[in-house]
Amino acid sequence: STNEVGDGGSIYVTESSETNGRSISIQNCQFLNNKAAEDNSIISCMRNELIIHSCNFEFENNKHQKYVFIKLTRLESNIKLENSTFQKNSVEGQLIEDFVLPKILTMKTTNVIINDCTFKDFGNKAIEINNEKSSLDSLQFTNNDISGSNEFLYLTNILTSPKISGNIFHDFQINSFDFIIEIDHNVQEILLEDNTFKVFIRESSTNSGVGLVFRRNDNALFTLIFINCNFHDIENRNENNDHQNGGAFQYGIYDFMRNVNIKFESCQFSMNKCTHGKGGALSVSIDNDLTITDCIFKDNYAPQDGGAIYIDPSSITSAKTTINNCTFENCISPLPINYQELEVHQA
């Protein structure tokens, strides 16, 4: 059925008077073509724990109201979202641009587990977590399948290292937004492991490549690590001089992105290209150490410097770059990897 009401277009769960707030579990349910009022939700929960397992959420043409599928309003709220699907109904002849796309989840957090879900076509900042507590117990985003045309993860004031692993991000058309993952945090280390990014086209925006940004709130040094990640068939078509570099990944173009160590371990970069700039796979402009170990670069292209990697020396102070035990195959550029005055240390 189609419900068009205020908050909780399908389910509204009030706050419990009990200290623990009780748990709400929703399993094996279909949510089809439900709606909510502007900026409200299909499921609104004021309890401490919400469990959603093996559910299917589908939405139909909606040109007016933007809403969110799931909203948790308590600071103490936890969510476990597993084996569920969020997608748009297929309507022949309708373009995705005709829709106001819904968001997936908004909450103020304590524990978040999102595992083995499929997300296809969603509103901007689809999963928005704004931590308002002094601590965040855990944040797990694992084994999910994501495709769309908007920013997906938007996390602020994150105080514990998130687990982001085993996900596949694919078939993104990036026109009017900058990032697919944006995290403001106060942690020493961010790790992305066993993730795949493939079939991206970036037409124009104020970023490059797949669009990943991690801001430390106090601008202190932290380490960003990629282990066993795959970047495949990503094309940066930007013609903006600041954003045309880096086919698959660019980092350090803004001041808030420079105070970081970056490590790539056992990653693969294949068939990536920037059509107007430098660094067919990677473009890096940071003030600290860059380490690339046991990685494979194959069939990457840039029309300017660095068919595989471009390292911008303009921001380098005492930074060390290490490229160790990597394979470069059929990477093409009119000029070789651009080290210029950068000192390269090979173990």
CA–CA gap between residue 290 and residue 270 (Å, rounded): 20
Reported as a single tens digit per residue, the pLDDT across 174-224 is 776 678 899 999 999 999 999 999 998 877 666 667 789 999 999 899 999
Look at residue 340 in the predicted model and tell me its pLDDT: 40
Count Cβ atoms within 10 A of the Cβ of residue 214 and give its class: 0-12 exposed, 13-18 middle, 19 or more buried: buried
Q: One-letter amino acid identity for 28? A: N
Provide the pLDDT for residue 132. 78
Q: Residue 205: its pLDDT value, please?
A: 60
101 vs 79: CA distance, rounded Å: 22
| Among the listed residues 318, 309, 250, 235, the one whose alpha carbon sits nearest the alpha carbon of residue 285 | 250
pLDDT at 82 over 90: yes
| Single pTM value for the model | 0.89
| Sign of the dihedral defined by the CA atoms of residues 92, 95, 99, 105, in that order | positive
Of residues 327, 214, 197, 209, the one with CA closest to residue 277: 209
* 274-319 tens-digit pLDDT: 888 888 999 998 989 999 999 999 999 998 888 999 988 665 555 7
